């Protein structure tokens, strides 16, 4: 059986910063944006919380004019529960009615652009839930490492000392130039030695990385776990997802346990731009729509996790991936962890998928082609199942092969 190495990694939703012709926008983060409206025009202010990064761009020329008494105003844009545009001060206070009417009249195109982006964000958030599988990598068949070149240029020696006529006839001039040249030579030798040391350090690091990828990644379960954890965390995920895994059978087998997002975390709203007025038509999606979207999301997560595993670990031959969710027991109202599905996939089976055409693939139908344990009703409701494989229990106390689960993890 060999060592059973259990690790946990928290997969966080990705913040994507989009830079386009119209400036900068965020596809995730707090709602709204702040705008400065004054005599010089209207400016958009976007910041990334926690990083200190901000961006200010002019989105429209002045429509208010430069007449005396026209002060600069900072406003925030929000949507109310009915999808109507709300313009407030930066502190969330109502604007003077005359100023709000003027902004709506003179900056209508800017406000309409903001509404269109909010509508796209609402719809793209829901679509990302059902298409999480599209970023799944193809299986990795071999472990090959491409070394990174050492790009630091080699320092060149100083110019040879060439003495002229005045160096020979002016007292002390020759000696001064010889001393300066000797100092330059010393400095060059010191800099060149440092460059050679850096080059050797780079070569050793590259050789260690080559051995790690081409040898240890095929034989060392600790290295396999580290590489898989790195691959999982490097991806952007629509919802926070906690994954536990154990590499077994010397790296030939992998057990994945995923704490799935809750059904209650599904985005419930649908939006479209109203034909008249500055507002969105916002409505709640039906329970049936949400259940089917949740089923697609759950299967998509499992599909993607299996794909990342085969795409990261070339020695891996079989993956068992099981997903569970916290739900309330209707008899006791206690929260329980129910497994919703569990699938076993071999590398040979997985390699039959055309990863160049994942937009034509249905994750639900795909997983049904493997050994799958799942009870899903026609209405998209999951019933509790038993997983195909159990993860090893975490060891008591610290140990060399144990990684502490992150907070809120599955015991």
- The rounded mean pLDDT for the chain is 78
Going by C-alpha positions, the residue among 5, 7, 3, 1 that lies closest to residue 403 is 7
Distance of alpha carbon 199 from alpha carbon 205, whole angstroms: 10
Between residues 265 and 361, which one has the greater pLDDT? Answer: 361
Q: What is the pLDDT of residue 324?
A: 92
Average pLDDT over residues 46-59: 42
pLDDT digits (tens, 9 = 90+) for 332-349: 767 778 999 999 999 999
Would you say residue 47 has pLDDT above 60? no
Would you say residue 307 has pLDDT above 50? yes
Going by C-alpha positions, the residue among 245, 257, 368, 366 that lies closest to residue 316 is 245
Distance of alpha carbon 264 from alpha carbon 335, whole angstroms: 14
Distance of alpha carbon 18 from alpha carbon 16, whole angstroms: 6
Which of 58-72, 272-286, 288-302, 331-345 comes out lowest in average pLDDT?
Answer: 58-72
pLDDT digits (tens, 9 = 90+) for 370-394: 999 999 998 888 999 999 998 876 6
pLDDT digits (tens, 9 = 90+) for 11-23: 656 433 333 333 3
Would you say residue 140 has pLDDT above 70? yes
Q: What is the pLDDT of residue 51?
A: 35
* Count helices and strands in the chain by DSSP H and E runs: 9, 16
Distance of alpha carbon 288 from alpha carbon 27, whole angstroms: 27
Task: Report the percentage of the chain scoring pLDDT > 90.
Answer: 35
pLDDT digits (tens, 9 = 90+) for 205-223: 999 989 988 888 998 999 9
In the chain, where the domains are located = 5-12+220-271+281-383, 17-130
Average pLDDT over residues 232-250: 85
Going by C-alpha positions, the residue among 244, 254, 400, 232 that lies closest to residue 324 is 244
Cβ–Cβ under 8 Å, residues 251 and 315: yes
Q: What is the pLDDT of residue 3?
A: 37
**Tokens representing residue 212 in the block:** 């790690």
Distance of alpha carbon 258 from alpha carbon 306, whole angstroms: 11
6: CB partners within 8 A, 6+ apart:
244, 245, 246, 391, 392, 394, 402, 403
Q: Is 352 helix (H, G, I), strand (E, B) or coil?
A: coil
Average pLDDT over residues 326-333: 74
Highest mean pLDDT among 187-191, 240-244, 403-407: 187-191
């Amino acid at each position: 059986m060999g060592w059973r190495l259990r690790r946990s990694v928290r997969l966080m939703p990705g913040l994507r910063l989009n830079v386009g012709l119209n400036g900068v926008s965020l596809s995730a983060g707090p709602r709204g944006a702040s705008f400065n409206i004054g005599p010089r025009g209207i400016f958009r202010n976007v910041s990334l919380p926690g990083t200190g990064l901000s961006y200010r761009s002019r989105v429209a020329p002045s429509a208010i004019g430069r007449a005396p008494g026209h002060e600069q105003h900072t406003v925030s844009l929000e949507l109310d529960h009915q999808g109507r545009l709300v313009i407030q001060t930066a502190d969330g206070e109502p604007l003077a009615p005359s100023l709000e009417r003027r902004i709506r009249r003179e900056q209508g195109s800017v406000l309409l652009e903001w509404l269109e982006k909010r509508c796209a964000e609402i719809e793209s958030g829901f679509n990302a839930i059902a298409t999480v599988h599209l970023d799944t990598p193809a299986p990795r068949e071999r472990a090959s490492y491409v070394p990174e070149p050492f790009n630091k240029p080699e320092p060149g020696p100083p110019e040879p000392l060439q003495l002229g006529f005045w160096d020979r006839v002016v007292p002390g001039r020759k000696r001064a130039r010889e001393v300066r040249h000797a100092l330059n030579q010393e400095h060059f030798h010191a800099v060149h030695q440092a460059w050679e040391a850096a080059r050797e350090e780079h070569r050793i690091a590259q050789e260690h990385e080559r051995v790690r990828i081409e040898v240890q990644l095929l034989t060392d379960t600790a290295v396999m776990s580290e590489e898989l954890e790195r691959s999982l965390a490097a991806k952007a995920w629509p919802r926070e997802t906690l994954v536990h895994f154990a590499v077994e059978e010397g790296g030939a087998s992998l057990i994945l346990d995923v704490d799935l997002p809750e059904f209650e975390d599904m985005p419930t709203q649908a939006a479209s731009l109203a034909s008249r007025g500055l507002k969105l038509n916002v409505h709640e999606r039906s329970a049936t729509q949400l259940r089917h979207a949740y089923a697609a999301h759950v299967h998509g997560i499992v599909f993607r996790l299996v794909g990342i595993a085969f795409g990261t670990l070339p020695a891996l031959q079989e993956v068992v991936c099981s997903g569970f969710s916290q739900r309330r027991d209707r008899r006791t109202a206690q929260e329980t962890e129910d497994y919703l599905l569990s699938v076993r996939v071999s590398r040979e089976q997985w390699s039959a998928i055309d990863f160049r055409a994942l937009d034509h693939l249905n994750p639900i139908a795909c997983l049904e082609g493997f050994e799958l344990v799942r009870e899903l009703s026609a209405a998209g409701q999951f019933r509790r199942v038993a997983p195909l494989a159990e993860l090893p229990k975490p060891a008591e106390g610290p140990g060399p092969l144990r990684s502490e689960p992150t907070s809120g993890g599955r015991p």
